[in-house]
Amino acid sequence: MKNLTNKKLIKISAFSLSALTAFSLCACSSGMSANYDKSGAMAAAAPQSINNYAGDGYYDDPSYYDDYDYSPEYEAIADEEYGYNTNVSDLGDSGLTSTQIEASVAANRKLIKTVNMSIETIAFNEFINNLSNEVAKCGGYIEYEYTYNGSAYNQDKFTNKSATYTIRIPDSKLDSFVGAVSGLASVTDKTTTTEDITLNYVDTESKKEMYEAEQESLMALLEKADSIEDITYLTQRLTEIRYNIESMESKLRVYDDLTDYATVNINVTEVKVLTPTVVEEKTLSQEMKEGFEQSVGDVINGVKHSFARFVIRLPYLIRTLVILAIIGGIIFGIVRIIIAVIKKQNKKHREAYEAKKKEIEDEKKKAEEKKAEENITAEAKKAEEKRD
C-alpha cells in the first residue's frame, strides 16, 4: 500500500513537472510568435523571410536522441504493449505516400500572392480616400503607410505628393481589389508574384501529427511507468514534444496568414499630366505638328513660370536691394570721412611746409641784408682811411 502510494506521488509529481515545464515553454514560444492586428489577422511578413518564423525547434534534430540511455523496462513496455520504437530516427519523414501527398497538394494548394503597383494620379487626396474605402470594402487592412505631402520650401523640385502602402487583402478578393484600384487612377507598372508553399505546409502538418501521436503514446507509457528513471525520461521527452508541437502550430499560423491574405504594395505619385497608357502611331506631319505645339507650349510655360517665380521672389529681391543700398551708403559715408581726414592732414602738412619755407626765406633775406650792411660799413671805413 505504501509502495503504491509512493508510485502515485511520483506520477503526480512527474505530471506536475511536465505541465509546468510545458506551460513555460509554450509561453516562451507564444512570445516568439508573430503579432496579430485588431481584426485577428496576423501582421504579414515578406514572403522571402517566411523561413524565419516559428522554426522546427532545437529538438527536431533526430541525432539529439541517439545517445540517450533508455531504461530497459521502458523499451520492453514500448515494444511489447504499444509497438512504439523509442529510437526516433526519421522525424523529417511526413508519414504519407507520394500518391497521398500529390492528392493533398492538388486538393488544397497553398499560394502566397504579392502584387506591386505604381500609380499616378492628378487628385492625390481623393485617391487616398477612395483607396482606404476599397480596402475596407474588401475586408483588408493597411499594414504600412508612408505619405509625403510635398515641399513648401522648394518651388522647383520634389513638390509632388507621394505615398507608399503595404496592404493585406483576403486572397479571394485580390483580383476585385486590384481592378478597383486600377479604375481609380493610372497604373504605370504592375507585377504579380506567386509562391507555392503547399509541400512545406503539408510536411509541417505531418510533423505536427507525428508529434501528437508520439505524445499520446508517451502519456500512455507514463501511466504505466514505475521507476523514477522512466518517469523522468518520459516527462522530459513530453516537454520536448510539446515544444515542437507549438513550433509547428506557430509555423502553420504564419503559412495560413500569408496564404489567406495577399500582399499589395502600392506606390502613389501626384502628377500634373498622366503618362499615356496607349501609344498611338502617328504620321510625320502629326509628329512635327504636335512636337512644334509642345515646344511652343513649353516655351510659354517656361516664361510664365519664370515671371511667376520673379513676382513671387520680388519681396526677397527688394529686401536684398535695400540691404545693399544701406551697406553702400555706409561704405560711401566711411569713404567720405576718410577722404576728409586725409585732406585735413594734407592741409596741415602743406601749411607747415609753407611756414617753414617762409621762415627759411626770411632768415636768408636777413642774412643777405646783414651782409650788405657789413659791406657798406667796410667800404665806408676804407674811404675814411683814405681821407686820413
Task: Please report, for the chain, the start and end positions of each structural domain, with discontinuous segments joined by +.
Answer: 2-107+207-256, 287-388
Most confident of 7-11, 21-25, 137-141: 137-141
Confidence of residue 286 (pLDDT cuts 50, 70, 90): confident
Confidence of residue 149 (pLDDT cuts 50, 70, 90): confident
In this structure, the chain runs to a length of 388
Positive or negative, the Cα torsion across 41, 46, 47, 53?
A: negative
Instruction: Report whether pLDDT(152) > 90.
Output: no
Instruction: Report whether pLDDT(62) > 60.
Output: no
Q: Is 357 exposed, middle or buried (0-12, 13-18, 19+ CB in 10 A)?
A: exposed
Express each pLDDT in 225-280 by its tens digit. 888 988 899 899 999 999 999 999 999 999 999 989 999 999 999 888 787 766 66
Confidence of residue 360 (pLDDT cuts 50, 70, 90): confident
Percent of the chain with pLDDT over 90: 31
Task: Supply 312's cell numbers.
Answer: 513671387
Instruction: Report whether pLDDT(55) > 50.
Output: no
The pLDDT assigned to 84 comes to 37
The pLDDT assigned to 106 comes to 54
Instruction: Report whether pLDDT(28) > 90.
Output: no
Average pLDDT over residues 152-173: 76
The pLDDT assigned to 144 comes to 94
Confidence of residue 347 (pLDDT cuts 50, 70, 90): confident
Question: 95 vs 180, which has greater pLDDT?
Answer: 180
CA distances from 360 to 91, 350, 353, 373, 377 (A): 128, 15, 11, 20, 26
Percent of the chain with pLDDT over 70: 69
Most confident of 33-37, 263-267, 282-286, 379-383: 263-267
pTM above 0.85, yes or no: no
Across the beta sheet with 261-270, what order do the strands follow? 141-148, 162-170, 261-270, 111-121, 186-196
Confidence of residue 145 (pLDDT cuts 50, 70, 90): very high
The pLDDT assigned to 272 comes to 81
The pLDDT assigned to 130 comes to 94
Confidence of residue 21 (pLDDT cuts 50, 70, 90): very low
Cα atoms in the Cβ-side hemisphere of radius 13 Å centred on 67: 3
Instruction: Report whether pLDDT(154) > 70.
Output: no
The pLDDT assigned to 95 comes to 59
Instruction: Report whether pLDDT(361) > 80.
Output: yes
Provide the mean pLDDT of the chain.
Answer: 75
Lowest mean pLDDT across 174-188, 216-230, 321-335, 369-383: 369-383
CA distances from 313 to 155, 234, 304, 310, 386 (A): 11, 84, 14, 5, 108
Confidence of residue 380 (pLDDT cuts 50, 70, 90): confident
